[in-house]
Amino acid sequence: MGREKKRGTSGATKNYLTRSQAVRKLQISLADFRRLCIFKGIYPREPRSKKRVSKSSTPSTTFYYAKDIQYLLHEPLLNKFRDQKALAKKISKALGRNEVSDASRLERNLKPRMRLDHIIKERYPTFVDALRDLDDALSMLFLFANLPSTAEVPANIIAKCQRLTLEFEHYLIRTHSLRKSFLSIKGIYYQATIQGQDILWLVPYRFVQRTGADVDYRIMATFVEFYTTLLGFVNFRLYTSIGLVYPPTFDLKSEEQGAELGAFQLEAQNGEEQQPADNEVDAETNEKAQAEADRLLSLPAEPQRDEEEQAEADVEDIEANQASALDQFASIDEKADTLLQPSATADSATAGKLFETFTVFLSRETPRHSLEFILKAFGCKRVGWDSSLGEPGAYCAEDDKRITHQIVDRPDLPLPSPPLTDGETDMDVDEVDGVVTKRANERVPGRIYVQPQWVWDSINAGQLQRPDLYAPGATLPPHLSPWVKPKKGDYDPTLSLAAQETAAEAEMEDEEDIVDEGSGGEEVEGVRGDGEAREMEEELDKEEDGGMDVNLAGSEDESEGEVEVSGGADADEDDEWGGISGDEAEDVGDSAARQAQAELEAEALGKAPVQAGTTEKEKRKREREVAQAKRAREEREQQEQVERQKMMMPRRKRKVYEKMVYSNARKDEEAEKLRAKRRKIERGGAAKS
């Protein structure tokens, strides 16, 4: 007879440990256990049966793998936690004896310093692994960089997060690695491609943040401690990969004056080249560029080539452009899904030239930091703003003549006023030391004014958008997410309603138009009937006032005493019908022939014949009824065919098919609701216009 197994020694019970068992085994507090699990990347597990795994009558709620807890027994941070616990006991004893100076000395000199470098190397063996796990790290650090300083979030943590995030943004600006961005309710989404890895993170808007009491900042501070170490390693690797010294030179004075990105100065590793701040243009660089341009202008002109040589050169240029252009994939079947096209922003060289030739000025009401970061990441080297927002980083003033684009987020700006004549004065003109500045809230001639959304839509599309669509005060186009591609049958805001609505929706829209037309016609007829009634009342009034109008006959052809009575009962002879004239007979015959021809054509096309005297409204109604009957018949036949095919399916596949049909119907309903909402908005706009 075999030996009886003891409960809890094998199987699923041995593979799992509860949180209380893990804490007792590691001999640390619950708070330290949580920190250690966050640092090591160990998370609770959900067993298949909690009752079978639990060793007590009451099933526990949190379980961990026994191998993970065994792995934590060899962690060097356990000794640091024990040293902190011993130090806390010494400090509490000193405070109990009222020895405050000794307690502060112990905390200052004996506090253990924890380093997470070995954990970073363990969790991320390669650099690509660290890049893949960088999304959450960037979102958390950008969040803490925008938080106010409180007791839960000290100022040194905020400053560290700001420095690390700005260093990362400088790398993206230098390498033009930023690809897409999107303005959402939560904040601003950014996507960058670094060494083939797509990194997506969220940056909150720079509003006044209010920290809530229901947030556990201890857990978040533990994540921040780990993420700051991770991002420091990543920044070091990124900077050294492009030949820059890490950490870059940081000017604290410029940062205090609001420079932000301008407070960093990148330096090459060889020490020969000094990279100036990206928002400043080096004078030596401009001189070299001007000297090179002068040298090219001084060169003799090339001899004129023959027509054949010129044609061959043009053909070569066209072939080169076609080779460098992106391939466009066209779908063979019109009913198939749209094929994904290659993105125009997939190349860093293309991204670095999008705003390269522009000089942009940012108004005070615009989000300066995000616009500065995006513009510089896509090639713009000359970004200016008002000096009150931070003078060290400003490239130019608002009245600078070199500005090509100004980004504003205010109502429509008026055009410049005509010049004043002699003797006129303008109260809006400011004159300082004899220099007349431009009027307030007035456009500068030769400068393009756009709203901030123009920048985001341009980088997402990979090309510059039309500035007139984003003019100040204009109704902006829909700002769509660059990561959501509409599928077949879904609502697409970029297409018109006629291009995506179904046949039933189109017929329903036609019916609504007919109803609107009919209601308008009834109103017109009602107005016309009231006018005729008023005319009849006026005639009756005239008859009551003056009686019958009698006109005496004064001609020789008429007999004496013969009178012409208008409106009397004796005028029956004038009202008698005298038959159909020749022209009227020809018209009646032609109309009968046209009616017969129309009936023959309708019968040949399979449509119901239109009866004589039918109005256009009745014709359209009849055609709509025929189309609806035809569509209902086709849908019924298709449904019957589907039911026959479902009968041949196995039960499992039939259930899967029914779930798929249900989900597709829900999607179609949502798309139909969105199209109906858009149709209502367009009708309202057309009615107002």
Handedness of CA 488, 492, 494, 499 (dihedral sign): positive
Look up the CATH number of the domain holding residue 371. Answer: 3.40.50.10190
Band of the pLDDT at 684, cuts 50, 70, 90? Answer: confident
Residue 255 lies in a domain: no
Q: Which helix (H) or strand (E) holds 630?
A: helix 616-647
My answer on whether 386 and 242 are in the same domain is no
Query: Of 247, 264, 279, which one is at a domain's C-terminal end?
Result: 247
CB contact set of 18 (below 8 Å; sequence gap of 6+)? 54, 60, 62, 63, 64
Band of the pLDDT at 203, cuts 50, 70, 90? Answer: very high
My answer on whether 517 and 645 are in the same domain is yes
Q: What is the pLDDT of residues 337-392, one digit of tens each?
A: 555 555 544 567 888 889 999 999 999 999 999 999 999 999 999 999 988 777 76
My answer on whether 41 and 66 are in the same domain is yes
Closest listed residue to residue 141, CA positions, set 160, 155, 121:
160
Average pLDDT, integer, range 24-36: 94
- Residue 413: strand, helix, or coil: coil
My answer on whether 38 and 126 are in the same domain is no
pLDDT score recorded for residue 677: 87
DSSP label at residue 186: S
pLDDT score recorded for residue 408: 94
Task: Say yes or no to pLDDT of 33 above 50.
Answer: yes
Average pLDDT, integer, range 242-251: 91
Band of the pLDDT at 497, cuts 50, 70, 90? Answer: confident
Residue 158 lies in a domain: yes
The sheet with strand 405-407 has its strands ordered as: 382-385, 359-362, 405-407, 448-450
My answer on whether 362 and 494 are in the same domain is no
pLDDT score recorded for residue 301: 45
Task: Say yes or no to pLDDT of 567 above 50.
Answer: no
Average pLDDT, integer, range 500-515: 68
Residue 539 lies in a domain: no
Residue 611 lies in a domain: no
Q: Which helix (H) or strand (E) holds 194?
A: strand 188-194
DSSP label at residue 299: S
Residue 616 lies in a domain: no
pLDDT score recorded for residue 524: 39
In terms of residue numbers, what domain contains 61? 12-109
DSSP label at residue 389: G
The overall average pLDDT reported for the chain is 77
pLDDT score recorded for residue 210: 80
Residue 579 lies in a domain: no
Handedness of CA 218, 224, 230, 236 (dihedral sign): negative
For a pLDDT cut of 90, what percent of the chain falls above it?
37
| Distance (Å, whole) CA 56 – CA 103 | 44
My answer on whether 367 and 511 are in the same domain is no
Neighbours of 54 (CB within 10 A): 18
Residue 498 lies in a domain: yes
Task: Say yes or no to pLDDT of 121 above 90.
Answer: yes
pLDDT score recorded for residue 606: 64
Provide the domain count of the chain: 4
**Tokens 């960088």 belong to residue:** 134
Band of the pLDDT at 594, cuts 50, 70, 90? Answer: confident
pLDDT score recorded for residue 79: 92
Q: How many residues does the chain have?
A: 689
Q: Write the DSSP assignment of 356-385 as a string of letters.
A: TT-EEEE-TTS-HHHHHHHHHHTT--EEEE
Query: Of 87, 109, 131, which one is at a domain's C-terminal end?
Result: 109
Average pLDDT, integer, range 311-327: 50
Backbone phi, then psi, for 137, in 5-degree steps? -65, -45
Residue 229 lies in a domain: yes
Higher pLDDT, 10 or 580: 10
Q: What is the pLDDT of residues 210-223, one digit of tens each?
A: 877 788 899 999 99
pLDDT score recorded for residue 316: 56
For 664, the token pair is: 């597709």
Q: What is the pLDDT of residues 415-469, one digit of tens each?
A: 766 665 555 555 555 554 544 455 556 788 889 999 999 999 999 999 999 999 9
pLDDT score recorded for residue 503: 72
pLDDT score recorded for residue 412: 79
For a pLDDT cut of 70, what percent of the chain falls above it?
69
What dihedral angle (degrees, nearest 10) is formed by the CA atoms of 67, 69, 75, 79? Answer: -150
Q: Which helix (H) or strand (E) holds 50?
A: helix 50-53
My answer on whether 99 and 126 are in the same domain is no
Report the predicted TM-score, pTM, of the whole model to 2 decimal places: 0.70
My answer on whether 148 and 36 are in the same domain is no
Q: Which of 126-140, 505-519, 642-656 has the lowest mean pLDDT?
A: 505-519
Q: What is the pLDDT of residues 75-99, one digit of tens each?
A: 999 999 999 999 999 999 999 999 9
My answer on whether 145 and 239 are in the same domain is yes
Task: Say yes or no to pLDDT of 591 above 70.
Answer: no
Contact 138, 200 (CB under 8 A): no
Higher pLDDT, 123 or 276: 123
- Residue 184: strand, helix, or coil: coil
Contact 232, 164 (CB under 8 A): yes
My answer on whether 369 and 470 are in the same domain is yes
Band of the pLDDT at 30, cuts 50, 70, 90? Answer: very high
Task: Say yes or no to pLDDT of 163 above 90.
Answer: yes
pLDDT score recorded for residue 342: 54
